[in-house]
Chain A
Amino acid sequence: MRIKPWQTLIVILLLTLAAVWVDLPGQSLDPLGWKSGITVRQGLDLQGGIQIVLEARPPAGVEVTQDVLQGTRDTIERRVNGLGVSEPVIQTRGSNQILVELPGYRDPEQAVRVLQRTALLEIIDTNGQYLAPGTIVNTTAGPASDVLGSEPTPTAEPAATPSAGETSTPSATTSQTGGTPTSANGTPTPGATPGSESTPAAGGSAGTTASPTHEAGATPTPEAQGPVYETIITGAELRDAYPTTDQFGTLVVGFELKGEATRKFCEYTSSHVGFPMSIVVDKQVISSPRIESAICEGRGIITGLNAQEVNELVLQLKSGALAVPLEVVQSRTVGPTLGQDSIDKSIVAGLVGLGLVALFMILYYRLPGVISVIALLMYTSFVFALFKLIPVVLTLPGIAGFILSIGMAVDANVLIFARLREELRLGRTVARAIEEGFDHAWPSIRDSNISTMITCVILFWFGRYVGATIIQGFALTLFIGVAVSMFTAIVVSRNLLRVLLTSRLFHNLWWFGLESRPMEAVSAAGD
């Protein structure tokens, strides 16, 4: 059984209606709620947001395996989810990098702070000594350099002033995060932290935010002095962490231990009543409470942090410590205003481009031109529907790729119509000319589009390493555009022409941009 052109056309029309329905913004015409969750996903450059590439900086002798990297990625993902970002991207790249994209997120400082910090919690036995908050310590779980990701090998010589300051000046810094600016306005600087008169920047910031490799020399490496303290509990033994309040109503971090750790903690505290112990995050003392009595219910609190630090630490403790220290090697932050401006301009550019192409096609090719414009509008609705359904993250270059593909989509039509005209000039009937025109144009369309698709695939691969989703978005949109354009040219334009030609109205060659001549006059000569 042969499928008639008008039957194909009905299928195409239904497809178009479906596509337009998907394209319509919001929940219009959607009583059953099928469209909920189908939205245009805007890339960073359109809605603003942050992109960070983190690179593993393992301590000496430690190798970053794919497992470690994957585990770190998962930790990062849990932290990102805790930040409440919708549609984040978290990917490993190459052997030692993790790419994080937080669309719509407005606080780059906080994002870097939360994601980059190792957040290894330890409760240590201080041998009865009181350790001031801010002190950097070595523990049995590993030397400070393990988490701080500082110099490859801890140097034997004592680092000049900062280390001395850390051990002897109790008030050097409040805590790790306290040293870095906390507000989005970026007012407080580490150097200005109260009490850090003798240790500029080093104690507070060197922990995670400063980059030891980049500014080696500028920022002295924190060097833990003194004994190696025994670690009783690590963050891995936590069952849960949550913000709560202490007896004074101050916001603190509450934690709950797992069964085994509860017993261990109970044993330790019952034998050390009256002595201080220290709670350490990333080898830096956060607080050093005195053990009042045995703690056997497996709960505790961490004091000495401000509200924001409490929330960040809870998030980090819940998602676990990073397996390796990370450093920011690439970042991109786009404010929301620039994004909206880009969207508006792209829409104008797209409409103008589409209008120019339509005008040109109709003036030059007449009836086929009109058909190609209809096919083009269908093409636009298909592609946009695909963008929403797949979903493709739309970026500015991606929109450029889409608009460019409109121009290229016309190419298939141009090829076919040029052939059509040639066949008509040779005196073929319109019906035969259409079939011949399509058949002859097909190899060119196929070969040329496949070569574009090959470059798209390579672009996609390249984009994985550079600017990430921005270039990938371009490659993907161009690829989809080219693929759909083949479909619309071959199936849509062809069937539209076939159906329209059954009408005698168009049996004049003027419609095809040739001299006005009725069809019948030439039909005999053609066959």
Chain B
Amino acid sequence: MLDLVGKRYYWFLLSLLVIVPGLVSLTLHGLNLSIDFTGGTLWELQMSRPVQPGEVRDVLAAHGYPDSTVQTSQDNVVLIRMKELKEGSPEKAELATALRERFGNFTELRIESVGPTLGTAIRNRAVLAVALASLGVLGYIAWAFRNTNNPFLYGIAAIIAMLHDVAVVVGTFSILGWLRGIEVDALFVTALLTIIGFSVHDTIVVFDRIRENLGRRAAPTFEEVVNYSVVQTLVRSLNTSLTVVFTLLALFLFGGETIRYFVLALLIGIVSGTYSSIFNASQILVVWENRELHRFLARLRGQRQHVPA
């Protein structure tokens, strides 16, 4: 049989290789927060003729919005990010008139505006939501696995795998934000919470097998039971992820611009979630049961004692 558990430290290493660059980028560059969190206005216009971003910036600057970013895309669509411009305010009407005078008529595709204080409130709410989701899931797993020796171990292992997935996605978006200017918005938080749900969903299926096989004493050692269970559920885990990845890929390719990065976040999270449930969560159970961390720490301490004074 495939020995997945035996190579557990390679799997952990692979996870680290993916996570560390993201975390480095996160500490250096943070996330490129959208107006949902910072406050401000996002204004998408379809002009009647092609325009240069610089021209639009000039008009904005001339009317008191100097630090705006302007992007243009196909079909003469202009995307403006600027400080808060209230819907229905005279400032907005004035700016619209100025833009019309300069570039001719345009269609307003969308305008989103968030006040600065609201942005901070949303940010706090998002952190709280992720924390609550983690706690809720931890509680449920501890309850679902209450008949095992160590119900909280399963919960904690699932949470670590979940944090792994969150770290992968947040790290990737930090890098994407830094290199490509991709923003993190309220939908991204939605994607994160969905990933949390899916990650745990996947982990539970594997854990459930372990629970069953432990009861049946399917293998002599805990390590072997875990390996047996992981291999048994491997095909199912891959197939499930594949079907979800199929639907997400379809959305990513054909689903339109507004949810593209939302879908990308889900896609990365689902792949990571499958990996972490097979290669991390179950392996953490083994590491814990074998008291490998204890032995590792003991060895460290032992070495320190051997160092001559």
- Residues on A lying within 8 angstroms of B by beta carbon are 45, 50, 52-53, 55, 108-113, 116, 179-181, 185-191, 201, 205, 209-211, 214-215, 328-335, 337-338, 341-342, 345-346, 348-350, 352-354, 356-357, 360-361, 364, 396-397, 400-401, 403-404, 406-408, 410-411, 414-415, 418, 422, 440, 443-444, 447-452, 454-459, 461-463, 465-467, 470-471, 474-475, 478
> Could you tell me if B240 and A411 are in contact, using CB atoms closer than 8 angstroms?
yes
> Could you tell me if B263 and A345 are in contact, using CB atoms closer than 8 angstroms?
no
> Could you tell me if B125 and A465 are in contact, using CB atoms closer than 8 angstroms?
yes
Looking at chain B's contact residues, the main secondary structure is helix
Asked if B165 CB lies within 8 Å of chain A CBs, one says no
Asked if B253 CB lies within 8 Å of chain A CBs, one says yes
Q: Which residue of B lies closest to A472 (CB)?
A: B190
> Could you tell me if B251 and A353 are in contact, using CB atoms closer than 8 angstroms?
yes
Q: A189-B90, A341-B256, A349-B254 are in contact. Are A407 and B208 (CB under 8 A)?
A: no
Cα of A443 to Cα of B110 in the assembled complex, Å: 46
> Could you tell me if A415 and B205 are in contact, using CB atoms closer than 8 angstroms?
yes
Asked if B57 CB lies within 8 Å of chain A CBs, one says no
Given A353-B250, A408-B244, 16 more contacts at CB 8 Å?
A53-B118, A108-B88, A113-B88, A186-B100, A187-B97, A191-B94, A211-B86, A328-B113, A360-B246, A400-B266, A407-B246, A408-B240, A415-B240, A451-B204, A454-B137, A458-B193
Asked if B19 CB lies within 8 Å of chain A CBs, one says no
Q: Which residue of B lies closest to A418 (CB)?
A: B236
Q: Taking the nearest CB of chain A, how far is it from the CB of B208, in angstroms?
A: 4
> Could you tell me if A466 and B125 are in contact, using CB atoms closer than 8 angstroms?
yes
> Could you tell me if B87 and A348 are in contact, using CB atoms closer than 8 angstroms?
no
Cα of A415 to Cα of B89 in the assembled complex, Å: 56
> Could you tell me if A331 and B113 are in contact, using CB atoms closer than 8 angstroms?
yes
20 contacts between A and B (CB under 8 A): A111-B88, A112-B88, A180-B88, A185-B100, A186-B92, A190-B90, A209-B88, A214-B115, A215-B91, A332-B111, A333-B108, A352-B253, A356-B247, A364-B239, A400-B266, A404-B194, A406-B247, A444-B205, A451-B137, A455-B136
Q: Which residue of B lies closest to A94 (CB)?
A: B121
> Could you tell me if B187 and A467 are in contact, using CB atoms closer than 8 angstroms?
yes
Find B263's partner among A113, A205, A400, A422 (CB 8 Å cutoff).
Answer: A400
Q: Chain B contacts of A406 at CB under 8 A? A: 247
Q: A333-B87, A418-B236, A448-B204 are in contact. Are A396 and B259 (CB under 8 A)?
A: yes
Q: Please give me the 4 A-B residue pairs with the lowest Cβ-Cβ distance, nearest first.
A: A112-B88, A407-B244, A455-B197, A353-B247
Q: A186-B96, A331-B86 are in contact. Are A414 and B243 (CB under 8 A)?
A: yes
Q: Chain A contacts of B1 at CB under 8 A? A: none
B76-89: CB near A (< 8 Å → 1, else 0) gives: 00000000101111
Q: Which residue of A lies closest to B122 (CB)?
A: A466
Q: Chain B contacts of A45 at CB under 8 A? A: 258
B124-143: CB near A (< 8 Å → 1, else 0) gives: 01100100110011001100
Cα of A173 to Cα of B254 in the assembled complex, Å: 52
> Could you tell me if B255 and A400 are in contact, using CB atoms closer than 8 angstroms?
yes
Cα of A211 to Cα of B109 in the assembled complex, Å: 25
Asked if B182 CB lies within 8 Å of chain A CBs, one says no
Q: Chain B contacts of A418 at CB under 8 A? A: 233, 235-236, 239
Asked if B300 CB lies within 8 Å of chain A CBs, one says no
> Could you tell me if B246 and A353 are in contact, using CB atoms closer than 8 angstroms?
yes
> Could you tell me if B94 and A189 are in contact, using CB atoms closer than 8 angstroms?
yes
Q: Taking the nearest CB of chain A, how far is it from the CB of B90, in angstroms?
A: 5
